[in-house]
Amino acid sequence: MVKKDLVLIGHGMVGQRFLEAFLAQDGAAWDWRVTVLAEEPRPAYDRVHLTSWFSGTSAEELSLCPASFIDEHGIDLRLGDPAVAVDRDRRTVTTRSGQLLPYDALVLATGSYPFVPPVPGHDARGCHVYRTIEDLAGIKEAAATARVGAVVGGGLLGLEAAGALRAMELETHVVEFAPRLMAIQVDDGGGAVLRRKIEELGVIVHTGAGTQAVDVDDDGAVRTMQLSDGTELAADLVVFSAGVRPRDQLARDCGLSVGERGGITVDERCRTSDPHIWAIGECAQAADGRVYGLVGPGYAMAEAAALDLTGGAGSFTGGDTSTKLKLLGVDVASFGDAHGTTHGALDVLYTDSRAGVYKKLVIGADGALLGGVLVGDADAYSVLRPLAASGAELPAPPEQLLLPASVGAPGAGALPDEAVVCSCHNVSKAAIRAAVGEQGCTSVPEVKKCTKAGTGCGSCVKLMTGIVEEELAASGVEVARGICEHFTRTRAELYEIIRAKGITSFSRVLDEHGTGEGCDLCKPVVASILASLGSTYVLDGEQAGLQDTNDHFLANLQRNGSYSVVPRIPGGEITPDGLITIGRIARDFGLYTKITGGQRIDMFGASVDQLPLIWQRLVDAGFESGHAYGKALRTVKSCVGQTWCRYGVQDSVALAIELELRYRGLRSPHKLKAAVSGCARECAEAQSKDFGVIATAEGWNLYVGGNGGMTPRHADLLAADLDRESLIRTIDRFLMFYIRTADRLERTAPWIERLEGGLDHLRSVVLDDSLGICDDLDELMARHVGTYQDEWATTLADPDRVRRFVSFVNAPGVPDPTVRFVSERDQIRPARPAEGGRTLAPALVAGPELEVRTR
Amino acid sequence: MTILHETRPTVATAVVEIEHDGRWKPVCGYADLLPGRGVAVLLGAEQVALFRDRAGLLYAVGNTDPFSGSAVISRGIMGSRGAAPVVASPMYKQAFDLRTGECLDEAATPDGSPARLGVWPVRVVS
């Protein structure tokens, strides 16, 4: 069969989505040969999060199109070779490099271009736009020598650009022609609150001011800017972000029908006036006569075109322009008829200028919710937007809908079935319910996989979680959020209670907030919380009864009832004498030894009675507990670093040791693993750790939330090029914030995935102190560092505590006769049931009874 | 089967006894027991796990975990499930009713033997 030719012009977000949707159709890959013409030097990337490039997200991380996608589908992707002409009669496309490509179907996804007001000097050196990674690289380079930056345009992108300039320590101005910031999304009241918040960040805002001219110096570089209100700004860097215009020139040139105000006109199936040509995204004027500048409608058009091309029935008749975003740390959302243009519409308003919160609901004459504006607190967006879109009756008086969720605003239950929960993927509440009720999903990640809901911008995940939980509860699957039958609270809630009330005993927590006697789930949780808040000795008083056997004996239980012992070897650095000491102890007690993945040495086969004897020798030689038994910091692994390695750029070993000593003994919801690499070659595998540090020429990059094991996860870059002090401060806060908010046995990787607002939120909490808790976090860590004690030294110093280390209360010194070993590869191993084997020697005369050859 | 002491002993010298082979054998001081924790007792070739709960009540069950074959029950965490006082095996976390020795999570071990601990009468003498 001869394949037909499909040519896609433009490889932006919408183009990529089109490819995904198109190739997901049965047979599409068989019937079509796909060629993609891209203007930029790299495949599709996430333009929505473009600004994060400034804070360290790499172009690779922003990429939406893995190389495997192109290879797997045999796509002919031509980077840096845009289309320059279309011959509709011959059905060919000419590229800039002069190639002629025939097509049976042509899809235009050329996007838009930044509008630059045609004022004098608009193209001078020092003037930039804000659209591509290359644009940002240019701005970054210019900012290095600039002093004052001016952003023309106070919309979403303009404010993001202003934030980036501010972060690069430029005096920053925003010039907005409209009387308020984000004029399209918010109203005057919301704009005022937003302006105050933006100004608090040190950005100087000029509203109601147009740009009249950009003046240049003798070298042709930007010097000043003249505003229509008479202001003269001494700016040496200008960023234009005054809106975008559809890129429809190619279509105009070949005579396709174009809307009056631009945009290639298409029908609801995204067909242009030529039956062989489709147009999608920002370059198209949709069937409802509008040009959408948002990615959600663009995706919907991509899907409609993909279906139409493969014989399906897709359509796009109009999209939701609701938006929710976090701008320089400020929540801003608008949805539906935000400006109350519907006839007879009335406002319900809630403002708290002190807290910087502004909320407005637009209510129709019939009492239905039409739209609204939220600034400073947009939590309610996830419920209000679908509620407005569905036109359903309000579940509560409108004023109640404006209250914070904790005061009783309605949750997921208030939504009608047809309400669209995920607008990126157009998933309704009914579809989510069906995924649970009919397809058997029992968790949010499963529902995400099944429906794609929540996998776009992610803003609906909280609402989705509510719906999934409600549906599970309704179908009889119990969704217990509490730790166990004794506590209806989550670990994070218990943490806050214990902290706020200053509780120091499990009995009091149980009496005041639980039922029954506790169990093996809640007791260690409470013990861990008490330890991380008080840094007291974990076997003190009642706490001794709460610990898992590992914490109780400060060693790791192995399958035959014996224990293993791991002394701390900070950073994996150990002297020959240290190695000899460990070797001698292992030999004298007849223990099996193995090097661990965390760069230390594990000694196996010890009986309870032997533990204090082994540890007395270790402590005497200067070793400390390695906390291998605890939900606590395990190791900070390191590569050898600059000191020895030819490639190292920083002393990774010294930093690893410093970090390991700082955080040793820190009790947390689960174990913590860390690493420091001395250069980008990453030999310490820091990106697979809960926190990992990689040296750069300028300082240290901090990665968080990595994991190996069963569900590996690459860590996310939290901050780049930190100096030592800021690095340690940031890790301090990250760890304490995790300890404070994570669930029981939740590693940092799933915690970050679950964290509402994700990495950006985490960043704003630990770097910008958006929750105002950093002083608390710092103080908790200072207390931990100040009160740390080696648990084994403390234990050995108290004869009463040492007395607990007996196999039998009525026969101290007698080892458990059922713990038996045989020899294998010159060491011991636990005997299997039929093997017999030998028991351990009595603890006091350790050694030679077991015939293990030593070398 | 477990006999509980009737009054809370206040004397530091009170002794715990377990009945074995028809005789009461002293095994440790009452004060040696931490509330909410267990200890292992060696009676001839048998191992018993002895527990004291928050209220001061004592329980004695077999120390060998039927799921792992290891003598570790005494090192488990005590607690309650509904009205039943339980200990969770530290090996694979199954809960056992301290009054009856019965496993509340699984009726049998993977090799088919009943998942149940023995129980011993226990008392405190002043």
| CB-CB neighbors (< 8 A) of A545 in chain B | 34-37, 77-78
A623 and A683 housed in the same domain = yes
Tokens of B9: 């002993």
Q: Do residue A520 and residue B69 have CB atoms under 8 angstroms apart?
A: no
Contact between A267 and A245 under an 8 Å Cβ cutoff? The reply is no
A449 and A568 housed in the same domain = no
Composition of chain A by helix, strand, coil, percent to 5? 35, 20, 45
CATH of the domain at A327: 3.30.390.30
Tokens of A672: 């913590």
CA-based nearest distance A552→chain B, Å = 8
Mean pLDDT of chain A: 88
Q: Tell me the C-alpha to C-alpha distance, in Å, between residue A83 and each of A86, A249, B10, B41.
A: 8, 11, 93, 84
* Angstrom distance (rounded) from CA A131 to CA A149: 17
| CB-CB neighbors (< 8 A) of A557 in chain B | 72, 75, 90-91
pLDDT digits (tens, 9 = 90+) for A59-76: 888 999 888 889 888 899
pLDDT band at A417 (very low <50, low <70, confident <90, very high): confident
A227 and A287 housed in the same domain = no
Domain range enclosing A274: 4-113+246-309
CA-based nearest distance B97→chain A, Å = 12
Query: Considering A261, A285, A309, which residue would you say is the last residue of a domain?
Result: A309
pLDDT above 80: residue A401: no
CA-based nearest distance B120→chain A, Å = 16
* A279 DSSP β-pair partners: A108
What is the C-alpha R_g of chain A?
32
CA-based nearest distance B104→chain A, Å = 13
Tokens of A778: 């710092």
Residue A806 lies in a domain: no
pLDDT above 70: residue A302: yes
| CB-CB neighbors (< 8 A) of A514 in chain B | none
CATH of the domain at A429: 1.10.10.1100
Question: What is the β-pairing status of strands B84-88 and B77-81?
Answer: antiparallel
Q: Which of A507, A557, A809 sits opposite B28 (nearest CB)?
A: A809
* A495 DSSP β-pair partners: none
* Residue in B closest to A540 by C-alpha: B34
Candidates A426, A424, A446; CA nearest to A435 is A446
Candidates A668, A673, A637, A667; CA nearest to A652 is A637
Number of domains in chain A: 6
Query: Does CATH place domain B15-125 in 3.90.400.10?
Result: no
Residue A121 lies in a domain: no
A41 and A98 housed in the same domain = yes
| CB-CB neighbors (< 8 A) of B82 in chain A | 485, 516
Which of A517, A607, A745 best probes binding to B when mutated, by most B CB atoms within 10 angstroms? A517
DSSP A699: S
pLDDT above 70: residue B29: yes
Q: Which of B34, B41, B82 sits opposite A544 (nearest CB)?
A: B34
Residue A508 lies in a domain: yes
Percent of chain A with pLDDT over 90: 49
Percent of chain A with pLDDT over 70: 95
Residue A394 lies in a domain: yes
Size of interface A-B (CB pairs under 8 A): 105
| CB-CB neighbors (< 8 A) of B122 in chain A | none
pLDDT above 90: residue A778: yes
A618 and A661 housed in the same domain = yes
pLDDT digits (tens, 9 = 90+) for A331-363: 888 888 888 888 888 888 888 877 788 888 898
Q: Do residue A557 and residue B91 have CB atoms under 8 angstroms apart?
A: yes
Contact between A161 and A172 under an 8 Å Cβ cutoff? The reply is no
pLDDT above 90: residue A56: no
Residue A73 lies in a domain: yes
Residue A516 lies in a domain: yes
pLDDT digits (tens, 9 = 90+) for A95-146: 999 999 999 999 999 999 999 988 899 989 999 999 999 999 999 999 999 9
Q: Do residue A519 and residue B79 have CB atoms under 8 angstroms apart?
A: yes
Amino acid B41 reads V
CA-based nearest distance B86→chain A, Å = 8
* Residue in B closest to A803 by C-alpha: B32
* Residue in A closest to B40 by C-alpha: A808
Q: Tell me the C-alpha to C-alpha distance, in Å, between residue A728 and each of A617, A624, A718, A782.
A: 33, 22, 13, 12
Residue A337: φ, ψ to 5°: -80, 75
* Residue in B closest to A814 by C-alpha: B42
Q: Which of B39, B82, B86 sits opposite A809 (nearest CB)?
A: B39
pLDDT above 80: residue A478: no
Contact between A716 and A704 under an 8 Å Cβ cutoff? The reply is yes
Q: Which residues contact A117 (CB under 8 A, 6 or more apart)?
A: A152, A210, A211, A240, A242
Which of A515, A549, A608 best probes binding to B when mutated, by most B CB atoms within 10 angstroms? A549
Name which of A280-284, A322-326, B29-33 the model is least confident about: A322-326
Return the pLDDT at A406: 46
* A418 DSSP β-pair partners: none
Q: Do residue B71 and residue A545 have CB atoms under 8 angstroms apart?
A: no
Return the pLDDT at A854: 39
Name which of A2-11, A642-651, A685-694, A815-824 the model is least confident about: A815-824
Query: Considering A359, A386, A410, which residue would you say is the last residue of a domain?
Result: A410
Write b or e for each residue in A797-816: b if 16 or more Cβ atoms lie within 10 A of its Cβ, otherwise e.
eeeebbebbbbbbbeeebbb
A754 and A697 housed in the same domain = yes
DSSP-derived 3-state class of residue A556: strand
pLDDT above 90: residue A575: yes
Of A376 and A682, which is predicted with more confidence? A682
pLDDT above 90: residue A701: yes
* Residue in A closest to B67 by C-alpha: A559
Q: Do residue A559 and residue B68 have CB atoms under 8 angstroms apart?
A: yes
A743 and A599 housed in the same domain = yes
Q: Do residue B34 and residue A559 have CB atoms under 8 angstroms apart?
A: no
Q: Do residue A808 and residue B32 have CB atoms under 8 angstroms apart?
A: no
Question: What is the β-pairing status of strands A284-285 and A264-265?
Answer: parallel
Q: Which of B32, B75, B86 sits opposite A809 (nearest CB)?
A: B32
Give the B-side interface with A, CB within 8 Å. Answer: 27-28, 32, 34-37, 39-42, 45, 47, 50, 53-54, 64, 68-72, 75-82, 85-86, 88, 90-91, 93, 95
| CB-CB neighbors (< 8 A) of A559 in chain B | 68, 70, 91
Q: Do residue A548 and residue B64 have CB atoms under 8 angstroms apart?
A: no
| Highest-scoring range by mean pLDDT, A346-355, A466-475, A539-548, B49-58 | B49-58
Helix axes A758-766, A774-787, angle to 10 degrees: 70
Q: Which of B35, B40, B41 sits opposite A545 (nearest CB)?
A: B35
Return the pLDDT at B10: 56
| CB-CB neighbors (< 8 A) of A821 in chain B | none
Q: Tell me the C-alpha to C-alpha distance, in Å, between residue A123 and each of A116, A131, A170, A239, A390.
A: 9, 16, 21, 11, 46
Residue A217 lies in a domain: yes
Question: How many CB atoms are located within 10 Å of the residue A44 CB?
Answer: 25
* Residue in A closest to B42 by C-alpha: A808
Of A446 and A716, which is predicted with more confidence? A716
Return the pLDDT at A840: 62
Tokens of A654: 């010294």
Of A843 and A657, which is predicted with more confidence? A657
Q: Which of A542, A545, A809 sits opposite B40 (nearest CB)?
A: A809
Residue A852 lies in a domain: no
Q: Which residues contact A566 (CB under 8 A, 6 or more apart)?
A: A556, A596, A600, A601, A602, A603, A626, A628
Helix axes A724-741, A758-766, angle to 10 degrees: 120
A604 and A661 housed in the same domain = yes
| CB-CB neighbors (< 8 A) of B15 in chain A | none
Which of B16, B51, B72 best probes binding to A when mutated, by most A CB atoms within 10 angstroms? B72
A567 and A698 housed in the same domain = yes
Candidates A121, A116, A114, A169; CA nearest to A143 is A169
A610 and A727 housed in the same domain = yes
Helix axes A429-437, A444-451, angle to 10 degrees: 110
Question: How many CB atoms are located within 10 Å of the residue A743 CB?
Answer: 16
Name which of A74-78, A175-179, A418-422 the model is least confident about: A418-422
Return the pLDDT at A422: 81
A775 and A635 housed in the same domain = yes
Question: What is the β-pairing status of strands A346-352 and A357-363?
Answer: antiparallel
* Angstrom distance (rounded) from CA A482 to CA A54: 40
A759 and A626 housed in the same domain = yes
Question: What is the β-pairing status of strands A323-327 and A330-336?
Answer: antiparallel
Query: Considering A210, A242, A274, which residue would you say is the last residue of a domain?
Result: A242
Q: Is A540 within 8 Å of chain B by CB?
A: no
* Angstrom distance (rounded) from CA A534 to CA A554: 19
Within 492-531 of A, beta carbons closer than 8 Å to B belong to 507, 516-520, 522-524
Question: How many CB atoms are located within 10 Å of the residue A3 CB?
Answer: 12
Q: Which of A516, A546, A818 sits opposite B80 (nearest CB)?
A: A516
